[in-house]
Amino acid sequence: ASARLRNQDFDGAIAECGRALRLMQGGEEPLEDISGQSVLQLMRLSSVWAERAQAKMALFDYQGALDDAQAALRLYQPMAETWSCSGACKLQLDDLEGAAADCSEALRLDPR
């Protein structure tokens, strides 16, 4: 999916992430129970959700991107880029307070 994102094939990236989620976790719904999952598995799953969020954001599907970013962050929180994506989506959806909080968290995690 990363290559598709770089090549601006956003629909292809979304489809590829969907296939990866079905293979890795058995479906495209966010996991409710993460007990028994290794940190590495949670990081991998979170990365797939985050990539799909970026693709949806590029297609102006801000609510879908926010849902995916939040699914990623439920699995693994120390991802500055995902917090930034979530903040940008909230800004587009007129949640200024939420956008500010998410962007602050992104900056806390990666201040550069």
pLDDT in tens, 48-78: 999 999 999 999 999 999 999 999 999 999 9
DSSP codes of every residue in 67-87? HHHHHHHHH----HHHHHHHH
pLDDT, position 105 = 96
DSSP 93: T
pLDDT in tens, 28-41: 888 777 777 888 88
Is the entire prediction scored with pTM above 0.75? yes
Q: How confident is the model at residue 27 (pLDDT cuts 50, 70, 90)?
A: confident
